[in-house]
Structure 1
Amino acid sequence: MDKKEKLNRIFLILLSLFVVMLGYGILLPILPYYTERLALKDDLDPDLINYHIGMLTSIYPLFQLIFVIVWGRLSDKYGRKSIILVGLIGFITMNLLTGLATSLTMLYVARILGGVFTSSVIPVSNAYLSDITSEKRRTKIMAWSGVAISSGLIFGPVLGGLLSQTNVHLKYSFGLFHLDRFSVPFLFAAVLGLIVLFIIIKWLNSTAIVAKIRKKETKLSVSFSRYFIVLLTLSFVMQFVVTLFETVFSIYGKNELEFNSSQVGIGFMLCGSVMAALQPVFATYGEKIMTTKQQITVGLLITGISLVVFPFLRNELSVYGLIILFASGGAMVTPNLLSSVSLISKEDTGRNISIQSSTNSIGQILGPVLGTWLLAGGFYYPFIIAGSVVLIVIGLVYYLRQ
């Protein structure tokens, strides 16, 4: 494979990652209003609206958790491209059902289908990137995967907010479906997904099927080395604290810091932008200064200290500065963990990355739940406890090999 062909493949994979995360981000600013409209239409108790918002938020990563390892195994057996295509079809279906939903039941069905099928895209795409890159450049390419994901999460909420406010005076019902201005962002995401689907079908070449190039028959059981368990634990902790921070910061900013929605939005934008910008920087130049173990250690240290200090700040600029520091720590840790997992086994790359994605999904589920629960005791607790957990798990880095 020549350099041009490899770059084309990498671009197409990053495009699919970006679009799927863009679609995920589009929903974030709209979900509370969309859920409220459907709940009131179904004559549900208004006090249950927040409950449904929480359930609709957590049900997506829950089904990702359940199915992600299945897709990883299937991609090892049948090839990466076919599984990515299945994920994109599921992504399109989810957005169509979400945009045209007339009841909360339909919205739940859409979120469940989305969780089932889009759980294939990120880990299998990362496995594809792992297949076509050398071990020496693995960390760098995994950082660019992080950039694509972070970029989708940066632009998705902005695009969703803008498209939901479009001056489209459209109300049209047909059967179980309904079309209005809230449908616009999701229909846009569905069309975008359809375009990417056709591009992937036409121009992305398949990699060799892992199951066919194995020299020995592998066992179906999954074995976990101590090294792998440590990587999974660190991945879980990072995902847990990031989602906890995202959930708690919006409430903390509104109620304690008295930020308006724009100021809270700036905080999220800074966090996503810094992670997107710094991941390839650390992946490209970090090894010239520090080893992988050292980068993970320093990144965890920065993340943990940032969380512990965060609730003691009140000035807007200092809060933004600490968010940048927090995101910098995450940008140093995430690509190194993903690269380390991809290097464990050439034959089981898809499975291993899928297992890591599963641990991330558990963090996505538990982070918001425990974060809001800890808020009941005071605004200091979520940040200090999460930061302390990060600082404690630094001890696990000792067990990582170079």
Structure 2
Amino acid sequence: MKKTIKEQKTVLFILLSNIFIAFLGIGLIIPVMPSFINVMHLSGKTMGYLVAAFALAQLIMSPIAGRWVDRYGRKKIIIIGLFLFGIAELIFGLGTHVSILYLSRILGGFSAAFIMPAVTAYVADITSVKERPKAMGYISAAISIGFIIGPGIGGFIGEYGIRMPFFFAAAIAFIACILSTFILKESLTKEQLAEISANAKQTNFFSDLKRSIHPIYIIAFILVFVLAFGLSAYETVFSLFSDHKFGFTPKDIAIIITISSIFGVVVQIFLFGKMVDKLGEKKLIQLCLIVGAVFAVASTVISSFLAVLVVTCFVFLAFDLLRPALTTFLSRAAGKEQGFVAGMNSTYTSLGNIAGPAIGGILFDININYPYLFAAVIMVVGLGITVVWKEKQLTEKLAK
């Protein structure tokens, strides 16, 4: 019988810390990028490409990492991912040319591809079906804290030097790597891993994508893409938007994102389960897409600091509630293929994180409001997709 979440606090804390660190790296770059742009004469398009480079590397490595998680074990892949992340952040902190920055983001993408599916599969291994939604909610909260509070941390630490946030990230990554090495135990035995590996077909990226089109998975995966696309397009240009339109300092930006992230995570941890029970996953997802689209449009017509704070809180909250609903559904659908599904979840997230920042950066150079309007359109498209999501039918298939 599997232990309860309360009985595995230490292990869960280490796992959640690891995934927090991975997603911290995605957002950490954002508040200091206006300064980088000024010093290195970069454009909004280049900023978008730097964020997209991280996601592209994650996309390429995710299916491979998902298979390795099932073949070699969760712990080994987590440790490798953390070590790569530390190296990536150290390189970025030392980089003086844009090519070095790209190299850093690529290595960072590889590290995220290792960490995300390994942690998700590990948590699925050690939790019961009953407690898994709660555990996935914790993972989503850790992702949200890392991805959304990353710019906040970067902004505060950036007060001590533009490169300090990256040295800080490298240090905590190496510490987490050491702690994981000594504290974590492999969640499955060698025999269990061998059985999963033997049952899994030898596949490549394209065959994995083909498998992901299965009716049980595809709508949820498309919504994962929409979530990543909309949030990354919105967040990538947030610091530039705030700097250019309102004259906000990195510290102002850090305050807004930090408060917004805390608001979202608190609601996520304490109310997510109740909202799913009352509304169901599908209705909750639809509500979040509507709220996200409305407030993304509102972002283009406000001007005061307080208004920006309120709007940002609700945009991030919408995304914070979307993620665990989708992750929980995919985990239930995965069965014994936790590594594959977690890897493809990471793949579709990467696809969104590639397209969102790249297009958002280009649109920003054309018109400062276009990235937010574009994010709103994408969320409306996602809402349309949910109309054809036969959730009950899929649930019945899972029960068979």
**Structure 2 residue aligned with 1:373, among 346, 362, 365?**
362
Q: Map of 1:264-283 to 2, 5 A cutoff?
A: 264-283=253-272
- Give the paired residue count: 380
What one-letter code is carried by the residue in structure 1 that aligns with 2:15?
I
Deviation at 1:371, TM superposition (A): 2.1
Going from structure 1 to structure 2, the CA distance change for 1:334 and 1:50 (only over 3 Å counts) comes to closer
What one-letter code is carried by the residue in structure 2 that aligns with 1:192?
I
* C-alpha distance in structure 2 between counterparts of 1:315 and 1:101, whole Å: 36
**Structure 1 residue aligned with 2:199, among 205, 212, 217?**
217
Higher relative contact order (CA 8 A, sep 6+): 2
Going from structure 1 to structure 2, the CA distance change for 1:376 and 1:82 (only over 3 Å counts) comes to closer
- Alignment match, 1:234: 223
Going from structure 1 to structure 2, the CA distance change for 1:2 and 1:291 (only over 3 Å counts) comes to same
Unaligned runs of 5+ in 2: 393-400
- Alignment match, 1:12: 14
Deviation at 1:265, TM superposition (A): 3.5
Q: Which whole-Å deviations, capped at 9, do the CAs of 1:106-131 have from their partners, x for residues lacking one? A: 43333322222332112221121122
Is 2:380 the partner of 1:391? yes
* Deviates most, 344-353 or 15-24: 15-24
Question: Is the contact between residue 62 and residue 362 of structure 1 (CA under 8 Å) also seen in structure 2?
Answer: yes
- Alignment match, 1:21: 23
What one-letter code is carried by the residue in structure 1 that aligns with 2:173?
G
| SS of residue in 1 equivalent to 2:333 | coil
Deviation at 1:354, TM superposition (A): 1.4
**Structure 1 residue aligned with 2:302, among 303, 309, 313?**
313
* C-alpha distance in structure 2 between counterparts of 1:183 and 1:248, whole Å: 20
Q: Map of 1:237-316 to 2, 5 A cutoff?
A: 237-257=226-246, 259-316=248-305
Q: Map of 1:3-402 to 2, 5 A cutoff?
A: 3=4, 5-31=7-33, 33=35, 46=41, 52-101=46-95, 103-153=97-147, 155-166=149-160, 184-208=164-188, 211-214=193-196, 217-220=199-202, 221-222=207-208, 223=211, 224-257=213-246, 259-375=248-364, 378-397=367-386, 398-402=388-392
What one-letter code is carried by the residue in structure 2 that aligns with 1:247?
T
What one-letter code is carried by the residue in structure 1 that aligns with 2:194?
K
TM-score when normalising by structure 2 = 0.84
Deviation at 1:301, TM superposition (A): 1.9
After superposing on structure 2, the runs of 4+ consecutive aligned residues of structure 1 that deviate more than 6 Å are: none
* C-alpha distance in structure 2 between counterparts of 1:84 and 1:364, whole Å: 21
TM-score when normalising by structure 1 = 0.83
- Alignment match, 1:173: none
Deviation at 1:284, TM superposition (A): 2.6
Deviation at 1:282, TM superposition (A): 3.6
Question: Is the contact between residue 34 and residue 239 of structure 2 (CA under 8 Å) also seen in structure 1?
Answer: no
Deviation at 1:155, TM superposition (A): 4.8
* C-alpha distance in structure 2 between counterparts of 1:298 and 1:20, whole Å: 28
* C-alpha distance in structure 2 between counterparts of 1:190 and 1:135, whole Å: 35
Question: Is the contact between residue 20 and residue 145 of structure 2 (CA under 8 Å) also seen in structure 1?
Answer: yes
Going from structure 1 to structure 2, the CA distance change for 1:34 and 1:259 (only over 3 Å counts) comes to closer
Deviation at 1:77, TM superposition (A): 1.0
Pairwise CA RMSD of aligned residues?
Answer: 2.9
Question: Is the contact between residue 282 and residue 332 of structure 1 (CA under 8 Å) also seen in structure 2?
Answer: no
Q: Identity percentage over the alignment?
A: 27
* C-alpha distance in structure 1 between counterparts of 2:178 and 2:342, whole Å: 26
Unaligned runs of 5+ in 1: 40-45, 167-180
* C-alpha distance in structure 2 between counterparts of 1:250 and 1:189, whole Å: 20
* C-alpha distance in structure 2 between counterparts of 1:304 and 1:82, whole Å: 40
Question: Is the contact between residue 26 and residue 150 of structure 2 (CA under 8 Å) also seen in structure 1?
Answer: yes
| SS of residue in 2 equivalent to 1:312 | coil
- Alignment match, 1:2: 3
* C-alpha distance in structure 2 between counterparts of 1:211 and 1:142, whole Å: 22
Deviation at 1:302, TM superposition (A): 1.5
* C-alpha distance in structure 2 between counterparts of 1:379 and 1:36, whole Å: 17
Larger Rg: 1
Going from structure 1 to structure 2, the CA distance change for 1:381 and 1:348 (only over 3 Å counts) comes to same
Deviation at 1:72, TM superposition (A): 0.8
What one-letter code is carried by the residue in structure 2 that aligns with 1:77?
R
- Alignment match, 2:397: none
* C-alpha distance in structure 2 between counterparts of 1:107 and 1:128, whole Å: 31
